[in-house]
Amino acid sequence: MHKINKNSKVVLNNGVEMPIIGLGTFKSAEGEQVVHEVGWALEAGYRLIDTAKIYGNEEGVGRAIKDSGIPREEIFVTTKLWNTDQGYESALLAIDESLKKLGMSYVDLYLVHWPTASADTKESLNKRQDTWRAMEEIYRSGKARAIGVSNYMIPHLDEMKKYATVVPAVNQVEFHPFLYQKELLNYCNKGGIALQAYSPLLHGEKLGDERISNVAQKYGKTNAQILIRWSLQHGCSPIPKSVRKERIENNIDVFNFEIADEDMEVLDGLNEDLHVRANPYLLK
């Protein structure tokens, strides 16, 4: 694991290469904020930018990528299908809307954002089969180089086996030491699904935990860098977010050290099934 660097790739189950680390843009405001944030990230060496329709910032993400001068094919762009766009016809329309806002002819990864078609994540309306049929068509059309899911737990992935002809390339879930989803990680690894870690920094919650600080001091790193490195060493692709330039730069400075096994065990032991976002296991 120590041989990975910021240019390392995850080879997805269809052969597409995805950068090992990316920038998340959840809660980044449309306009100058997200344009600056993405621009700083690209300058710092990030080559994966993650957005979603519900974030409301696809236009700014697309603008920042265009303004960067970096060839489009060198940047891996992810966006997501929102709950209320689930279903066959509506999903086909939604990808076109996202591409128009991004100013792109394709995305590298298109994800079903949640396993529910409800307007929020407190209820669960199942349109997963029709939605995935549209996702497979989007994939075949070339509008997405890879397709996947987000917030899918083992029951949802088991259900997919009944109707999917294309195995999801990625499952993007909340993953950090306080929500160490070991069973889900093993399931995805066995099934050839790359696990991507959102909220690797818990939106700041627990970031100052003394047990993380003790590990960080040992390596001369920040607590955030320890959490990101922990995800990497579990074979996940973390997508930390920040709107501050120095933190964006620090969050990718995680490739010049390796957390020892005994310290990984300490961090693994922090698990308390803490969801800082909604709990997808509640969605049937």
Domain residue ranges of the chain, discontinuous segments joined by +: 9-271
The tokens describing 131, both together, are: 């939605």
Flag whether pLDDT at 118 surpasses 90: yes
152 annotated active-site = no
Q: Which of 246, 252, 199 is nearest to 225 (CA)?
A: 252
pLDDT tens column, 47-84: 999 999 999 999 999 999 999 999 999 999 999 999 99
Mean pLDDT is lowest, of 31-35, 129-133, 135-139, for 31-35
Residue of 55, 110, 180, 198 marked active site = 55
Q: What is the DSSP letter of 107?
A: B
Flag whether pLDDT at 277 surpasses 80: no
Q: Kindly tell me the burial class for residue 199, based on how many C-beta atoms sit within 10 Å of its own C-beta (0-12, 13-18, 19 or more).
A: buried
149, 136 in Cβ contact below 8 A? no
pLDDT at 231: 97
pLDDT at 188: 98
Residue listed under structure tokens 């066959």: 88
Identity of the residue numbered 246 = E
Flag whether pLDDT at 254 surpasses 90: yes
35 confidence band (pLDDT: 50, 70, 90):
very high
Residues near 245 by beta carbon (within 8 Å), at least 6 away in sequence = 36, 40
Mean pLDDT (the chain) is 94
How far is the C-alpha of 107 from the C-alpha of 99, rounded, in Å? Answer: 7
Average pLDDT over residues 151-155: 96
pLDDT at 203: 77
151, 195 in Cβ contact below 8 A? no
> Per CATH, the architecture of 9-271 is what?
Alpha-Beta Barrel (3.20)
Q: What is the DSSP letter of 49?
A: E
205 confidence band (pLDDT: 50, 70, 90):
confident
277, 50 in Cβ contact below 8 A? no
pLDDT at 202: 87
The tokens describing 36, both together, are: 């600056």
Strand order in the sheet with 237-238: 23-24, 48-50, 76-81, 109-112, 147-150, 170-174, 194-198, 237-238
How far is the C-alpha of 54 from the C-alpha of 82, rounded, in Å? Answer: 6
Residue 29, CA distances (Å) to 107, 229, 237 in order: 21, 27, 24
1 confidence band (pLDDT: 50, 70, 90):
very low
pTM for this prediction: 0.96
pLDDT at 123: 85
Flag whether pLDDT at 283 surpasses 80: no
